[in-house]
Amino acid sequence: MNENNVNSKVDTHHDHNELDLRGTMASVLFLGGVFVVTWFAIFILFLERV
């Protein structure tokens, strides 16, 4: 294997500490909120019909 190929593979490695995951966190919180609101809405419907 050529030495240049080895170096190019090492250079493409990204450190996980440098990733920006704020968008992921916002999406997870949004979906969690939707699930909680949906659960409570269904629970209230259940209580009203009993």
Alpha carbon 43 to chain centroid, angstroms: 27
Indicate the pTM of the whole model.
Answer: 0.62
Burial (CB count <10 Å: 0-12, 13-18, 19+), residue 44: exposed
pLDDT tens digit sequence for 33-47: 999 999 999 999 999
pLDDT tens digit sequence for 2-20: 666 655 555 567 788 888 9
Buried b (16+ CB within 10 A) or exposed e, 9-30: eeeeeeeeeeeeeeeeeeeeee
In the chain, domain spans: 24-50
